[in-house]
Amino acid sequence: MNGAFSIIIYDKMRQKIFCASDRFGTIPLFYYLRGATLFISDIFFSIVEQLKKISIDHDSVRELILSGYVGGSRNIVSSICEVPQATIIQFDLLNNTSIAKKETRYWRLSYVSHSSQSESKLIDAFIEIMNEVFKRFSSALNSKNWRLLVMLSGGMDSRLLLTFLLRHNYHNLSTLSYGTINDRDVAIAKKVAQHLCVEHIENLVKDHGFFNREFIKKYVYIMGETTRFTCGIGLQYSLLNHSLEMDCFIPGHSFDAATGSQLTPEIFALSTKEDVYALIFQTHFTSLGEKSILCLFGKDAVTEQVMKKRDEFEVDSSDLIGSFERWNFENRQRRLILREKRTYARKANWILPFYDYQLVDFFAGVLYPMKYRQKLYVNAFIKDDRFNKVFSLPYKKGTLKRIEKLSLAEKYIIHKPGTMMSRLYGKYYGARRKLGKLCTRYEYDFSGPIPIEYWWYNTQGFKEKICNILHEFQHDDQFYNKSYLDYLLFSEKMPSKFIHEGIPSLLTLNFMCQLMRKQTS
């Protein structure tokens, strides 16, 4: 499938063990190494069960609560590591007193562009690669006669995936969407499925009854060592409510990371390594500036956390924009987006056509003017007679339109990134975006698979239920200021992001500690 794998090889003759992961770390592989003791498994708790004592990594706990996942190769247990993406680790077993480890990185995502082809030629090349990829996938799937379940949203990626599967004569499939009654995503997904004459399953979240201790505990066990349990929760809820018959899941998201969705004016303003680090924290740790978060952990602890994360990631001074994109792939994409595939794996196989090496390598070579605002990606299909009907259907954020000429300011910042003008325009864009958020009338979030914020403020008993669960657990370690958390839980000043990500992360931490105590005892 040109993509997802993890490998363990035991060379008995040379007394060596080799572990390897694919380019994006789609299938996690964990290991514990102390002296002459080595445990390796793709199941985190299989290693935990072998340990008599474990210690919690406070830095990872803070990061989990601040962002909803732990970046890099660490997790909340300090002695267990994960094989990084695109890496081969060699363990030498010849020494009886210690095991030597050698780590080799065999590939690194780079966005240093080379292609200078015209838009029309790039579009032709892109569509040709898409056809090659889906021809290969469809042929492999047909040989197995697998029943597919395509995760359909209101966006472009999932309808593109579905369209190409049908074009290559794979019809043994259904589609699934999930969300609340008022979720525009669900309504649009239904229209797309109807337009393409595909069987569609619509799963609506009507109340929070399912959101209980057993549900939380089950999914914390699957992914809680690095990621909040609500990752992929829409499918988790769907599996509870439907007898879904399938052999393989195909999620339709995540291609936007390769096609240029993050290329905003703020990125083209980057001129130093420090700028890159600042934008990473601003983008992926948006709670950091909140006064309540600083009070919860202490300002010094948060500052220390930021500095440690900075030291973990190396920015390439010759490719500042590419470094920002690479950080996203190696951290958020791997530890948050791809982690939900572990939920899928409990039920059936899964494949990721949009993580195919051909596609990723192609977009890595596309010049920034053709990737800015996903210009190449959008224009390749919006005016194509073979696709325009399905792509003319509504989108969650409006109607998809062909991207014509860029403004003079946009042209300037793309061709001359890091200059004073680029920095000024980037600041203007960022300020305008923040002002737009401030001026927009605030509404509780009704959308998505679990509208936690709406339940928190509008559904009787939900806040009390969650608070009671949080208060059940007692930690020996002081991960955060418990008194301040008690105040924050019943405060109207709690940040919206903390309700969506911080609360699920706290629940994840509590249940993980409970599970680990049980396993090690």
Top pLDDT among 487 and 411 is at 487
pLDDT for position 287 = 63
- Looking at residue 194, its pLDDT comes to 94
Number of Cβ within 10 Å of residue 366's Cβ equals: 23
- What would the mean pLDDT of 157-166 be, rounded to a whole number? 92
CATH number for the domain spanning 32: value is 3.60.20.10
Res 335: pLDDT: 92
Residue identified by tokens 């899928």 is: 344
Co-location of 159 and 252 in the same domain: yes
What pLDDT, in 10s, does the model give residues 262-271?
Answer: 888 888 888 8
Same domain, 195 and 248: yes
- Please tell me whether residues 224 and 348 are part of one structural domain: yes
pLDDT tens for 292-350 read 777 888 877 777 877 888 888 889 888 888 888 889 889 988 998 888 888 888 888 99
Query: What was the pLDDT predicted at 244?
Result: 77
pLDDT at 439 over 60: no
Asked if residue 407 has pLDDT above 80, the reply is no
Q: Tokens for 45?
A: 């708790």
Enclosing domain of residue 62? 6-105
pLDDT attached to residue 45: 94
Domain match, 46 and 139 both: no
| Whether 217 and 351 share a structural domain | yes
What DSSP string runs through 71-86?
-TT--SBTTEEEPPTT
What mean pLDDT comes out for the span 64-77? 89
Residue 64 sits in the same domain as residue 129: no
Residue 14 is assigned to a structural domain of this protein = yes
Region 7-11 average pLDDT: 96
Q: Residues 203, 251: one domain?
A: yes
Boundary-marking domain end, from 70, 105, 140: 105
Q: What's the whole-number mean pLDDT along residues 424-447? A: 56
Task: Among 415, 432, 451, identify where a domain stops.
Answer: 415
Domain boundary among the residues 399, 415, 431 is at: 415
Q: What is the pLDDT of residues 467-519, one digit of tens each?
A: 999 888 766 667 788 888 888 888 877 777 788 888 999 999 999 988 888 87
Task: Indicate whether 203 pLDDT > 50.
Answer: yes
More confident residue, 433 or 71: 71
- The string of pLDDT tens digits covering residues 99-156 is 999 999 999 887 665 667 888 899 999 999 999 999 999 999 999 999 999 999 888 8
- The verdict on residue 379 lying in a domain is yes
- The letter for the amino acid at 30 is F
What is the arrangement of strands in the sheet containing 30-34, beginning at the earlier edge strand? 37-41, 30-34, 80-82
Q: What is the pLDDT of residue 438?
A: 46
Q: Are 248 and 375 in the same domain?
A: yes
Closest CA to 334 of 355, 350, 363: 355
Average the pLDDT over each of 152-161, 333-342, 443-452 and give the range with the smallest value: 443-452
Above 90 in pLDDT, residue 14?
Answer: yes
- Pair (203, 128) in one structural domain: yes
Cβ pair 95, 109 in contact under 8 A: no
Q: What's the confidence (pLDDT) of residue 441?
A: 43
Percent of the chain scoring above 70 in pLDDT:
90
Query: Confidence band (pLDDT; 50, 70, 90) for 404?
Result: low
Tens digits of residue pLDDT in 217-264: 999 999 999 999 998 888 888 877 777 788 999 987 667 778 888 888
The predicted model gives 408-431 an average pLDDT of 73
- Cβ neighbours of 139 (radius 10 Å): 12
CB 90 within 8 A of CB 14: no
The answer to whether residue 147 is domain-embedded is yes
Lowest-pLDDT range of 49-58, 193-202, 392-401: 392-401
Position 81 in a domain: yes
Report whether pLDDT(40) > 90: yes
- 53 in any annotated domain: yes
Q: How far is CA 217 from CA 74, 94, 471, in A?
A: 21, 41, 15
pLDDT at 440: 46
- Domain shared by 89 and 129, yes or no: no
Residue of 253, 260, 258 lying closest to 361 (CA atoms): 258
Tell whether pTM > 0.75. yes
Compute the half-sphere exposure of residue 463: CA atoms within 13 Å on the CB side of its CA.
15
Q: Comparing 22-36, 263-277, 398-412, 453-467, which segment has the lowest mean pLDDT?
A: 398-412
- Residue 521 is predicted with a pLDDT of 64
Q: With respect to residue 432, please indicate whether it lies within any of the assigned structural domains.
A: no
Q: Tell me: do 42 and 189 sit in the same domain.
A: no
Residues 88 and 225 in one domain: no
Dihedral angle sign, alpha carbons of residues 462, 464, 470, 472: negative
Please state, for a pLDDT cut of 90, what percent of the chain lies above it.
35
**423 lies in some domain:** no
Number of domains, the chain: 2
End-to-end CA distance of the chain: 41
Give the number of other Cβ atoms within 10 Å of residue 18's Cβ.
Answer: 14
Binned at pLDDT 50, 70 and 90, residue 389 comes out as confident
Give a yes or no: residue 307 inside a domain: no
The Cα 473–Cα 494 span in angstroms is 21
Q: What is the CATH number of the domain that holds 330?
A: 3.40.50.620
437-443: average pLDDT: 47
